[in-house]
Amino acid sequence: MSFHNIDLEKSVIASLLSIEGSLDHVATIINHEDFAADRHKTMFRCVRALHEQGLPYDSVMVHDWLESNNLVEATGGEGYIAEILMTSPSTLFNLKAYAERIRDLSQHRAMDRLLVQAREDLKNPDLRLDDKVNTAIESMTKVIDTKKINGGARTVGSMMDEFFDNLQAAGRGEILPFKPTGIEEVDAQAPIQNGDLVIVGARPSMGKTTFAQTMVQNMVEHDFYTDKDGNYKRRAGVFFSIEMTDASVVQRFMASKSGVQLNKIRSGTNVETEDWQNLTRTVGNYRDNYPMFIESQPAMTIHQMRTTLNKIRNTHGEVGVIMVDYIQIMGEAKGKDAGQKANAIGEIAKELKRFGKEFNCPVIALSQLNRSLESRPNKRPIMSDLKESGAIEENADVIMFLYRDEVYNEKSEHKGIAEVGVAKNRQGPVGTVRLAFEGEYSRFSNLLPSYHTDSIPPYGSEQA
């Protein structure tokens, strides 16, 4: 099968040279690399260059530009422009469709080249099989994503119809402007949107894994869509558990959803008849229609994550939320040197942010904090407490810190109360919200409205 159509390319070039303003119809669809013929690549580059200078790009100006750059012979000589204009149809009505077909063929050629390269890589004994597979999948994903890259900039005016459609759909309850976490205080302070990179930071024993898992579980439970076949289904949640085993994740899930104490589930002792009934009911509710996927490997790489996410998207459907527990342990795999780890964590943060855009969903990533905060009188975390914080701060859309006073103060008046300090929020204000921490059931929940206190400083006040 041939992945090029020279007649289509000629028609597009002829339309550009003979119809004023025609480039505006295709400039966001194709670029010069999408043409198969080298002479057509050059002529399209010429048209774009003239347009960027504010000059007309008709046949006379194009010939002059080619001559000035000694490219006339490279594009077929003196008569090629005339030949195109005489033999190829100029069209504004079909121009966009022709350009889209040229781009499609270009992507097919790119995919063909990658498959050839992948076959060559298979013969290389120095590469591991999983590296070969991951490299091939990542490269192919980038080919598909060129549609987004070539989409180009859009004016505000061109997006207003879409804006009103979404606004009206949100008003009817058909779509939500954010992903509900099931925790009303969090949704009100820092609503999480598709594409967001959300960092949850805390010292050990604060419950950051439980907090993030609570949000992810609730997101999966309430996030539905209609697929291309008309099926109404849940979007998948994907939990990359780099520190805990998948069995531990499931134990926490069962405790939070069944209301059976986690220590009973872990030990298998003192499980009463009512507990068995609650566990059995939970299995019935979540066994067959709850697409939360758990991938637990001690040395997970970004390549492996992308492979897993693509596989889930291809076999199940849309991904609704991604959770990573946790960033620093991934950086440690790159080496023990502090500089190496910082650079690695920066790259990981950037890739996680890309995941959000690539899969159109939020990414919730857990982060360790520096031990230095333990020496402060006020142990509520601040931004500088993030380990290797620079790149994490830069890429994150939302940064939340967990603090539970009872961890440090045995006689705390706020037992069972957790503070979530929103330290960064691209779409809104920073601030502190308070939640109920139910450690025995491995979950966070909304606090009773009757609870209030003035003794906890608002986030953003002096804390060090």
Give tens-digit pLDDT for 204-228. Answer: 888 899 999 999 999 998 888 888 7
Distance CA 341, CA 388 (A): 8
If you average pLDDT over residues 351-358, what whole number do you get? 89
Under the banding of pLDDT at 50, 70 and 90, the label for residue 16 is very high
What is the chain's mean pLDDT, rounded?
A: 83
0.85 exceeded by pTM: no
Judged against a pLDDT cut of 60, whether residue 12 lies above it is answered with yes
Which domains are delineated in the chain?
6-149 (1.10.860.10), 178-446 (3.40.50.300)
Under the banding of pLDDT at 50, 70 and 90, the label for residue 138 is confident
For residues 47-59, one letter each, b for 16 or more C-beta atoms within 10 angstroms of the residue's C-beta and e for the rest, the string is bbebbeeeeebee
Judged against a pLDDT cut of 60, whether residue 334 lies above it is answered with no
Indicate the pairing of strand 232-234 with strand 319-325. unpaired
Distance CA 220, CA 37 (A): 48
Q: Are 210 and 315 in contact (CB under 8 A)?
A: no
Q: For the CA atoms of the chain, what is the radius of gyration?
A: 28
Under the banding of pLDDT at 50, 70 and 90, the label for residue 237 is very high
**Lowest-pLDDT choice from 8-12, 147-151, 278-282, 432-436:** 147-151
20-46 pLDDT, tens digit per residue, is 889 988 888 898 999 999 999 999 999
Question: What is the per-residue pLDDT for 365?
Answer: 92
Judged against a pLDDT cut of 90, whether residue 11 lies above it is answered with yes
Indicate the pairing of strand 319-325 with strand 292-295. unpaired
Under the banding of pLDDT at 50, 70 and 90, the label for residue 243 is confident
Judged against a pLDDT cut of 60, whether residue 456 lies above it is answered with no
Judged against a pLDDT cut of 70, whether residue 459 lies above it is answered with no
Judged against a pLDDT cut of 50, whether residue 148 lies above it is answered with no
Question: What is the per-residue pLDDT for 150?
Answer: 45
The sheet that has 319-325: what strands, in order across it? 292-295, 236-241, 319-325, 363-367, 197-201, 398-403, 417-425, 431-438, 443-446
Number of helical (H) and strand (E) elements in the chain, helices listed first: 18, 11
Residues in CB range of 220: below 8 A, 6 or more apart: 234, 235, 236, 237, 290, 291, 292, 320, 321
Share of the chain above pLDDT 70, in %: 87
Under the banding of pLDDT at 50, 70 and 90, the label for residue 462 is very low
Number of alpha carbons in the 13 Å side-chain half-sphere of residue 329 = 16
Question: What is the per-residue pLDDT for 44?
Answer: 93
Question: What is the per-residue pLDDT for 336?
Answer: 53
If you average pLDDT over residues 411-435, what whole number do you get? 88
Under the banding of pLDDT at 50, 70 and 90, the label for residue 158 is low
Under the banding of pLDDT at 50, 70 and 90, the label for residue 17 is very high
